Amino acid sequence: MITVELASTRVSRRTRWDVVRLRDRDGAIGLGEYSDAGDGAARIWPGVAARLADGMELDAVLAELEHEMVDRFTALTVRGGLEQAATDLAARRAGQPLWRWLGGPAARPVHRYANLNRALRHRTPEEFGEVAAAAWAAGYTALKCAPFDGLPPWERLRGGLDRARAVRLAAPRAELMVDVHGLLTVHQVLAATDELTALGLRWLEDAVALDDQAGLAAVHAAGIAPLAGGEFATEPGQVRPALRGGRLAWLLPDVKHAGGLAAARRLAEEALAAGAGVSLHSPSGPVATAAGLHLAAALGPSVETEFAFGEADWRPSSVRPAESPDGPWITPPDGPGLGLDLDPARWTVTSPFLSHA
């Protein structure tokens, strides 16, 4: 019988990290993260815990979640955490680090870029510049911002461009990525072609929905920057036309939202086969970050990942051993499975399932 424990920690006004810990009857554990699943996750976990307590196999529970259609995003993100934990548990039982369990040849350093978004509090252009300068000073050579977030529609384009320019001015030598978060119309993106091009972007993310083939073609033809997207993709068919048409240069699978490590891997392999770049989406806590690092190491040296920069200075000590310090390269933790556990001083157990342990 496998029991379910849930733990969380409040990081900022915006962010809470949510983790599932599976515990087998002999005490072996596996960790997975399902942060940003939404409020509906609390309605799903009791059923998951009951099925596992009754002896249902993990694979069967995962299959149920994969076919949940009522709140699909939440169910798949919960599935992502559960599948990470199941894979971690299996790798720990085998005495292998997760990258090896996933077929990787070595625990190579993985390139990461700094996502500035979660460190921002006031979202003024000045603060965008300050956070960008801090990330550059911490050693990151590639920075991503989401400058159009939180602005009213009538100010969104101009205000967002002001923020993006502040980041570029603060870190003129950095590789810069801009995430539109789908907040602009295709017409607005095209109208800002000159301003966006002047930023010298490494990529332009979520500027067009991946199923909008005409919009993708138009923005791709404008030559602003290579296009990136796919953080909520769950299976290769959703991204195949954009990849094979040459319009999507970077795919960004998320080990949470895709439904787990295996689903993220299928997406990544689809992109690599099409000649696109792969950068694992992960503005997440240390558990999903570690899972993504192991997957990136297993997939090969061209695969990179994201890091939520500057959100909490205590983040490294929230796990044991402590997470690696800031910088453009990070190596997956040593040890079996993910190679880490939660520091109990930083996490609150919110699960009602401990009575089953």
What CATH number has the domain bearing residue 158?
3.20.20.120
pLDDT value, residue 353:
57
Q: State the pTM of this model.
A: 0.96
Same domain, 92 and 224: no
Same domain, 62 and 135: no
Q: Which domain holds residue 68?
A: 2-96+344-356
pLDDT value, residue 355:
40
Helical (H) or strand (E) element with 203: strand 201-205
Q: What are phi and psi of 346, to 5 degrees?
A: -105, -10
pLDDT value, residue 352:
60
Query: Which stretches in the chain have pLDDT values below 70?
Result: 352-357
At 233-292, the pLDDT tens digits run 999 999 999 999 999 999 999 999 999 999 999 999 999 999 999 999 999 999 999 999
Query: For the chain, how many structural domains are there in total?
Result: 2
Same domain, 83 and 114: no
Residue 204 Cα distances to 66, 226, 286, 324, angstroms: 30, 6, 26, 28
Distance CA 227, CA 4 (A): 40
Q: The domain spanning residue 51 has which CATH number? A: 3.30.390.10
pLDDT value, residue 106:
86
Same domain, 327 and 352: no
Same domain, 329 and 191: yes
Same domain, 179 and 291: yes
Same domain, 64 and 105: no
Same domain, 68 and 183: no
Same domain, 108 and 152: yes
Same domain, 161 and 201: yes
Same domain, 12 and 153: no
At 157-186, the pLDDT tens digits run 999 999 999 999 999 999 999 999 999 999
Same domain, 141 and 261: yes
Q: What are phi and psi of 331, to 5 degrees?
A: -105, 140
